[in-house]
Structure 1
Amino acid sequence: MAVGIKELMARAEAEVRSVSHTEAQPMTQDADVVFVDIRDVRELEREGFIPGAKHAPRGMLEFWIDPESPYHKPWFAEDKTFVFYCASGWRSLLATQVAQEMGLKAASLTGGFGDWKRAGLPVEERKPK
């Protein structure tokens, strides 16, 4: 194997801004910040999500971000900062790296939704938009 997950993660960590759940929680009130949950829909249904978050499945992320894609989501074209998260922060770290490469202002939630939930921060149980 030429490159493994450890090296990919190390590269992403060097390039990506990461925020802890403590730093991220007040950002949920900022109209210029969009939280993006990239977990599988079954994870959302089972665990809930950060209130107000949008859902963008990891497998569709690049297609939803690119305005030239037939799958583009207009909310990704807004002049906002996007905070990506997954369960533990690994998938979202790589997703944030890709989003930055595609021109978005982005950050990754360190420790993911797991740390958020363990900290007792607000969790919403309905499906995100």
Structure 2
Amino acid sequence: MIQRTIAGTFKARIFYHTFQITPSRKIYSQTLFPSQQTKNLTQRMILPRLYTTPAGNFDKMIVNFEQVKKATTKNDILIVDVREPDEIKEHGKIPNSINIPLGSVSSVLGTMSEKEFEQTYKRPKPTEDSEIIFYCMIGKRSGMAQQNALNLGYKNVKNYLGSWTDWASKGQ
């Protein structure tokens, strides 16, 4: 795990939290060192935040326009659009991509059978080592989908940060 810091502003009471995440992903929180209530005091605190992705792998988990363009010609790479179907109708989609709305990503990748996946999407269901690229409109929802896939055990999932906005701006 990597420790990162997040700065937060808290008013009136100053306190510190410790968080422990177990291998079963349960989170235990404990409040430590409560201080006396202080009027109109704004205190800046730095809290550690843990991520499960090693820093060295972060660049490998993001793709750019050129990488996605190459991936559109490869059938062994699954490109997943996590926008809603109405958004795709309005704006368009990246060639050779399939649509799995963000709210369905976990159930489709987690519990849908291989046969049902292939019937629905006309592509084989990805294995845990298959390369999957997620995209949306600007890259936020695709990042959430990427995290969902990682939580399901998929190891080679990537996020197209520029997403549809970047793709469309390049005239594709």
TM-score by length of 1: 0.74
Write out per-residue CA displacement over residues 18-52 of structure 1, whole angstroms, 9 at most, x where no aligned residue. 10112221111122101100001110000010011
Kept in 2: contact 1:89–1:110 (CA 8 A) = yes
Matched, 1:87 2:137: yes
In the aligned structure 2, how far is the partner of 1:37 from the partner of 1:60? 11
Q: Is the helix fraction higher in 1 or 2?
A: 1
Equivalent residue, structure 2, for 1:4: none
Deviates most, 73-82 or 91-100: 73-82
In the aligned structure 1, how far is the partner of 2:145 from the partner of 2:52? 9
Report the alpha carbon displacement of residue 11 of structure 1 after superposing the two structures with TM. Answer: 4.9
* Cα 1:100/1:76, change in 2 over 3 Å: farther
Matched, 1:76 2:93: no
Report the alpha carbon displacement of residue 54 of structure 1 after superposing the two structures with TM. Answer: 0.6
Equivalent residue, structure 1, for 2:33: none
Write out per-residue CA displacement over residues 44-66 of structure 1, whole angstroms, 9 at most, x where no aligned residue. 00001001111101111100011
Alignment gaps of 5+ in structure 1: 1-9, 122-129
Equivalent residue, structure 1, for 2:35: none
TM-score by length of 2: 0.56
Task: Calculate percent identity across the aligned residue pairs.
Answer: 26
Alignment gaps of 5+ in structure 2: 1-49, 119-123
In the aligned structure 2, how far is the partner of 1:66 from the partner of 1:58? 13
Equivalent residue, structure 2, for 1:110: 161
Report the alpha carbon displacement of residue 80 of structure 1 after superposing the two structures with TM. Answer: 2.6
Q: Secondary structure at the match of 1:76?
A: coil
In the aligned structure 2, how far is the partner of 1:33 from the partner of 1:59? 22
When the two chains are superposed, the root-mean-square deviation of aligned CA atoms in Å is 2.6
In the aligned structure 1, how far is the partner of 2:86 from the partner of 2:71? 26
Kept in 1: contact 2:83–2:137 (CA 8 A) = yes
Deviates most, 25-34 or 83-92: 25-34
Matched, 1:100 2:150: yes
Kept in 2: contact 1:88–1:114 (CA 8 A) = yes
In the aligned structure 2, how far is the partner of 1:12 from the partner of 1:41? 31
Q: Secondary structure at the match of 1:36?
A: strand
In the aligned structure 1, how far is the partner of 2:70 from the partner of 2:112? 33
Report the alpha carbon displacement of residue 100 of structure 1 after superposing the two structures with TM. Answer: 1.7
In the aligned structure 2, how far is the partner of 1:50 from the partner of 1:68? 24
In the aligned structure 2, how far is the partner of 1:87 from the partner of 1:67? 26
Equivalent residue, structure 1, for 2:171: 120
Report the alpha carbon displacement of residue 110 of structure 1 after superposing the two structures with TM. Answer: 1.3
